[in-house]
């Protein structure tokens, strides 16, 4: 199975700053099959990005995804207070679908 | 509005069984693959099992293969997970998730909606 490694484990940033989250795969992922999810404390995950760079419905444009092959990035251009959460990447191009261990974005 | 509501979680002893349910609304249930994903306390997400819209494909994580069985009931718009021979490391919040693609498979489609989860605790 494809193992996804996210870094850093925790990212400390201030509101208004830029956050860059990394997701590295153990083998190449077809880029259209890479997603990012946001999970706030006590809540279910919410889809942010699919196909490596496509924003899901109602996701603000401060969220962007990029990358290909084994290296993918989620960028939050200007952090809002509601963006402090845990972010997971997922590959769904090969079985089984797998998730990274998450990056916590905190103040 | 798409809604997924899980139920059935409980505290059970190791070796016992439990059946989880997920009731879906707000979309044509018969058209989409459905999945179970779990999250152990303080941990990340682990895909557990999936079933296609027509039950043509079913798959399981190696960690649950042979112990868990996924099924779906079109008449009740419901997804199920029968969990047998439960182990302490099955303790987790179990989420039901919907595949995004109409009549899609178990892979090649992300999960666009998730339920709030139901907690399974396995302990003696």
Task: Examine the pLDDT at B59 and tell me if it is beyond 80.
Answer: yes
* Nearest CB neighbour to B108, from listed A33, A56, A98: A33
**C-alpha–C-alpha distance, residues B25 and B5, integer Å:** 9
pLDDT band at B75 (very low <50, low <70, confident <90, very high): very high
Please give the average per-residue pLDDT across B34-44, as a whole number: 94
Tell me the CA distances in angstroms from B108 to A30, A51, B22, B83, B102, one per residue in order: 10, 10, 23, 26, 12
Q: Give A18→chain B minimum CA distance, Å.
A: 24
Task: Examine the pLDDT at B8 and tell me if it is beyond 90.
Answer: yes
Q: Does A94 touch chain B (CB under 8 A)?
A: yes
Backbone CA torsion sign across B30, B70, B98, A49: negative
**C-alpha–C-alpha distance, residues A40 and A54, integer Å:** 21
A70-106 pLDDT per residue, tens: 999 999 999 999 999 999 999 999 989 999 999 999 9
Q: Which long-range contacts (CB under 8 A, 24 or more apart) does A76-79 make?
A: A76/A18, A76/A19, A76/A21, A76/A105, A77/A18, A78/A16, A78/A17, A78/A18, A79/A13, A79/A14, A79/A15, A79/A16, A79/A17, A79/A18, A79/A19, A79/A105
**CA nearest to A15, candidates A97, A79, A86:** A79
Q: Give A4→chain B minimum CA distance, Å.
A: 11
* Nearest CB neighbour to B44, from listed A50, A95, A99: A99
Task: Examine the pLDDT at B74 and tell me if it is beyond 70.
Answer: yes
A3-53 pLDDT per residue, tens: 999 999 999 999 999 999 999 999 999 768 999 999 998 899 999 999 999
Would you state the pLDDT for residue B120? 98
**Average pLDDT across chain B, whole number:** 95
Would you state the pLDDT for residue B23? 98
Find the closest chain B residue to A9 by CA distance.
B44
Contact B44 A92 (CB under 8 A): no
Would you state the pLDDT for residue B85? 98
């Amino acid at each position: 199975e494809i193992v996804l490694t996210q870094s850093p484990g925790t990212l400390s940033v201030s509101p208004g700053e830029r956050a860059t989250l990394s997701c590295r795969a153990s083998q190449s992922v077809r880029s259209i099959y890479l997603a990012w999810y946001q999970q706030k404390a006590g809540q279910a995950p919410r889809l942010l990005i699919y196909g490596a760079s496509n924003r899901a419905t109602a996701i603000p444009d401060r969220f962007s995804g990029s990358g290909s092959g084994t290296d993918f990035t989620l960028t939050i251009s200007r952090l809002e207070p509601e963006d402090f959460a845990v972010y997971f990447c997922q590959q769904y191009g090969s079985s089984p679908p797998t998730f990274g261990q998450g990056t916590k974005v905190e103040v | 509005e798409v809604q997924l509501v899980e139920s059935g979680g409980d505290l059970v002893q190791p070796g016992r069984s439990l059946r989880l349910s997920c009731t879906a609304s707000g979309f044509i249930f018969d058209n989409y693959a459905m999945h179970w994903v779990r999250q152990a306390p303080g941990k990340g997400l682990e895909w557990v099992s999936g079933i296609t819209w027509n039950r043509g494909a079913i798959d399981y994580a190696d960690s649950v293969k042979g112990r868990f069985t996924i099924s779906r009931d079109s008449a009740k718009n419901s997804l199920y997970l029968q969990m047998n021979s439960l182990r302490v490391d099955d303790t987790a919040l179990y989420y039901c998730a919907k595949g995004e693609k109409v009549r899609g498979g178990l892979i090649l489609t992300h999960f666009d909606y998730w339920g709030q989860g139901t907690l399974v605790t396995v302990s003696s």
